Structure formats: C-alpha cells, structure tokens
Structure 1
Amino acid sequence: MQFDSLSSFIADKEAVPKKGPVAVVLAEDDVELETTLRHHQQAGFAHVIAFMPERFGLARDLQDSVIRIACNTSAPDALETAVNGVIGAVPAGTWMFYCYNAEFLFHPFCETRSVGEMLAFHTEERRNAMLTYVVDLYAEDLWANPNAVSLDGAHLDKSGYYALARPGANGHPKERQLNFYGGLRWRFEEHVPEARRKIDRISLFKTKPGLKLRDDHTFNDEEYNTFACEWHHNLTAAICSFRTAKALKLNPGSTFDIDTFKWHNSAPFEWHSRQLLDLGLMEPGQWF
C-alpha cells in the first residue's frame, strides 16, 4: 500500500491501522531497509509503516505487506513529523514503536514471545510507555564494510554504559528519569553534538490525544519519559542500531579519524536477547 504523502495516508480512513502494535520506520537511506522492515514484521507488529523517499525500491512481498509513505527523510524534524502524524491518525490507546532503517528492536525473550505479548503484560502493569536503549552495532572490518554495516560481522560494546540524573527546569533531578550514555556516541563523543549523545529513547508507547514526540526522543507527557513505575522495576527493551556507526564512517568530518570501532570491550553480536539481558542492556522486570 503506497501513499504520496502523510496527509494522503491520514485522509484514507481504511488504510489507517485500527489496531496495534504499529511500527514506524524512517528510512534515512536504503541500507538494510528491507531487513529492518522484515525484522519488525517477524517481531509481531500488526502493521509496519515505512516513511521513505520515492526512489527507494522494495521487494514484492514488502510492497504488499508494508504501508509505504513517500517522505523527504532528510528534512528537519522528519521523524517527529512522521511519528506525531501517525499518533494523531490511529485510535487512542494504540501501541506504537518507531526506529530508523538498520535498527532492530529486541525485547526480553523475543525468540519465543511476540512484541504484542510483551506489551499486553506492560499494559497490565499500568505502563503507557517503555524505555529502550540504543545499542550501537558496528562492522568488525571497516575496510571490507566501508559503511560500517555488516549483519554477519556485527559487534557491540559489552561495557562502558552509564546514566546521569536528568535535570528539570528547576535544576532538580526529574523523578524516575535518567539520561543514558555509552557505545560509539560515548567513545567518539568529539564527533557527536552534545545534544545527540544520549542512547535512551521512549520508542514503545501508547497513543493518546495531544501526545507529541519531541526532538530529543522524549514526550510532552513526563510520565511517558520515566524508566519505571513507582513501585518496582519495569520491562525495558533494546534497539540494536548501525545508525551511529554508519554516520561516523560516512561523515567526512570523522571518517578519516576512525580505522576501526573495535576495542578491548567489543564482542560479536549474537542476535539473541539472552546476550542483551546478560549484559544488562535490557530488563525483564517482573516478566518471567
């Protein structure tokens, strides 16, 4: 299903999903785009919406199963415009997820449990949003993979993650909110603007009237931005992402300073939730 703009999609009441979970993928380029779309279909999302330039092609099975919306994804605020547009179009109470191409959602026990099962449990815990950590992936050999993307040779950092209090407008830390750092944005911070160094996103959330995604991956409802409820730890998930590695290697200002992303704390990525759980990069909470 294809639309030439977000507005034409919103106007087609038959096309707008009536039930979630819904995944929104913003294609900044076509690197592993089809892999990304299929990954989230297989994760259990009822609908996958791809915002992408018209020049990008898709395989026949994805043309039939993905909602494709033409979009200038390099425009300022392209992600927020896309996500907020879908928030306003789908019914209130719909679970949504968003990511970029070459990013892959992993949740606890995802090999045997769907994203819908996880969100059903999260809803029972009276949570309307879920914290996700962006875990940087990078190719082992940058000479063989000049864009830093390799599914077979993917590596991640197994340590070097930390959190700092998130200050509020009054200068005091916000309740149950932290800024998380680590990965390539931490190790190569001289090439990353300070405002873009955080690795936390509220990528899974339930829609409601007036809800807006902001440009720092937080929402205008502060409770959505919390990592847990008041009485116990909640589920978290991870987005395993080549996006930062790709940007650092393709950016002329940083590419010549980086011969490899590997260091003594690199480990091959196993494409399995158990590895992420063991490294503390996501939390099962009370879900066993």
Structure 2
Amino acid sequence: MIHPDLETFLAKGKAALTKGPLAVIMAEDEVEVASTLRHHLQAGFRDVLLLAPEGLALPTDLAELIHITWHDVHAEAALTQAVTRIAEAAPGIWMYYCYNAEYLFFPFCETRSFRDLVAFHAEERREAMLTYVIDLYAGDLDRFGNAVSLDDAHLDRSGYYALARKDEAKGWAPRERQLDFFGGLRWRFEEHVPWTKRKIDRVAIFKAKKGLKLRPDFTFSEEELNTFACPWHNNLTAAVCSFRTAKALRSNPGSRFDIQNFRWHNSIPFDWHSQQLMDLGLMEPGQWF
C-alpha cells in the first residue's frame, strides 16, 4: 500500500501500528532496495514500512507485501525523526529500523524468526537491543564501482574496539553498561568520516512507547535502552551488515579517488550466516541457546 506521506501512514496504517513487529527501512537511493526488503520480510517482521523518495520503482509482487511512504529521505535526521514519530503512534510494539543495502542478522536467524528473538528478549525484561553496524564492501572495486555486491561481499574480521561512554551531566563519569563502539571502514578511513559519525553501535531494535525519542546518534532519550546488557548477565545483541559506509566513501568526491581498494590483510568474505558473526564476536547470543 502506498501512502503519500508519513502523516497519512500514521493515520491510515493502524493495522501496522497495533501488533508488530514493524521494520522501518529508509531508501536513500535505489541500491539493493528490493534485496533489503526481501531479507527483512523473510526475517519474520509482520509489517515492513519503506520510506522512499517519491516514485521509487519496486517489483510489483514486493510492493504488494509492504507499506510504502513517500518521504524526504535526505532531510537532516530523516530516519531518526521518522522513527520517533512512528514510535509515538505505536506504543507497545517492537520496531526495527535501517537503511537500504543493510541486512539484519541475529543469533540463529537461519532457523528462528525476529518474533522469536524479541519474545525471548522481552522475557529477560529488556525493551531494546544493541546492534553493531558491520561494514560490508565489494572485494573488487573495479567490477563494482559503488562497492556494493552481494556475491563479492567482504567484512573486517578484526579492528573493532570500545571506549567508555561519558556522562556530561555527571562530570564525564562513565555511563553504566554503555560503551561507544568503533571499527570497520569508519575506523580505517577515519580521515574521510566526521568524528560524530564514526561510532558503529546503533540501538536498532526497541519497544515503542510514547515520549521516547531516537537521537541523531542512534541512541534513545531513555538511557536504560542504550545499555548493552542488563545488570545481572549478558543479553542478546544483533548485527546490521551494511554497505552504507562503503557506498558513501565511493560516492563522495573527497574520498572516492583516495580509495582504490577496501580490502586489507584482515578482510574476509562474508558468509551471510549468523554463525560467522558470532564466531568473530560481532554479536552476542547471551542466554539464548
């Protein structure tokens, strides 16, 4: 179903806002939009909402399975503001958000659905889940000039690290159970990435509630939702495997001609399987076996 704007979706798309889980996907361009939508439909979301520039073409069979809302995707904080508005209108449902050419993986996602994931997470009295944005990139930029290839996808097997997240209101003391995570292309090519955009952590899975705000750095106004674990044991985490940074570095004139190859000695092919991400320590199964 196509909605002319977000306000219309919020007014008329009540069915998608009452049960969940809902995936909100923003298409910044036309790259791998269809594969992104299909991936998340197969993951077990009850509804998928695509925020897209007006007129974006999709295969007919796919367009019939999702909600489409025309949206100014290049406005400042376009995705975070849209997610905040949707969450306000859909209290109590589980939500997830990402961009096109980004693919959610969670522990055992090959045999378990997203609904299984959030059902278990809710039993652990958690209302949000930390995700790590893991950069994907084509191994051969001569063949794939925009750095996007599902068949030639690579990722970094190491080079990830975390720093304490400081609380300005408490004299810059470390925040409890919160860390800033770094790595991937944003770390290796940091001279081309503004320092405010270098983190790879994103609270992309959460339970919607009124008054909750998603901030531009992909953290929430309610600090407990930004924690990586509860006080008593480690919790589930997930990964958003993303070509977005690679695309940006290849499309920006300031970086395109400085980068001839994204591969380095710690690059490995991406297997498109959750076990690889767990083996590399890029997501945590917690107590879910």
Structure 1-normalised TM-score?
A: 0.98
Could you say which residue in structure 2 is the equivalent of 1:163? 162
1:9-24 counterparts in 2 under 5 A? 9-12=9-12, 14-24=14-24
SS in 2 for 1:65: coil
CA RMSD of aligned residues (A): 0.8
**1:103 and 2:102 are equivalent in the alignment:** yes
SS in 2 for 1:248: helix
Describe the shift of the 1:216–1:71 C-alpha distance in structure 2 as closer, same or farther (beyond 3 A): same
Number of residue pairs the alignment of both structures matches: 287
Identity across the alignment (%): 62
Residue identity opposite 2:150 in structure 1: L
Unaligned residue ranges in structure 2 (runs of 5+): none
SS in 2 for 1:254: helix
Residue identity opposite 1:131 in structure 2: L
Residue identity opposite 2:262 in structure 1: F
Q: 2:139, 2:14 → 1: CA distance? A: 45
Could you say which residue in structure 2 is the equivalent of 1:154? 153
Residue identity opposite 1:109 in structure 2: F
Shift of 1:11: 1.5
Q: 1:14, 1:250 → 2: CA distance? A: 38
**1:286 and 2:287 are equivalent in the alignment:** yes
Residue identity opposite 2:285 in structure 1: P
Asked if the contact 1:142/1:259 (under 8 Å) is kept, the reply is: yes
Unaligned residue ranges in structure 1 (runs of 5+): none
Could you say which residue in structure 1 is the equivalent of 2:179? 178
Could you say which residue in structure 1 is the equivalent of 2:223? 222
Shift of 1:13: 5.2
Structure 2-normalised TM-score?
A: 0.98
Deviations 1:48-70 (A, max 9, x none): 00000112101111211110000
Could you say which residue in structure 2 is the equivalent of 1:44? 44
Shift of 1:122: 0.3
Deviations 1:74-101 (A, max 9, x none): 11121122111211222x2110000000
Shift of 1:15: 4.8
SS in 2 for 1:240: strand
Asked if the contact 1:136/1:242 (under 8 Å) is kept, the reply is: yes
Shift of 1:17: 2.8
Q: 1:198, 1:13 → 2: CA distance? A: 33
Larger displacement relative to structure 2 (58-67 or 188-197): 58-67
Q: 1:49, 1:165 → 2: CA distance? A: 34
Asked if the contact 2:16/2:47 (under 8 Å) is kept, the reply is: no
Asked if the contact 1:16/1:89 (under 8 Å) is kept, the reply is: no
Q: 2:117, 2:5 → 1: CA distance? A: 32
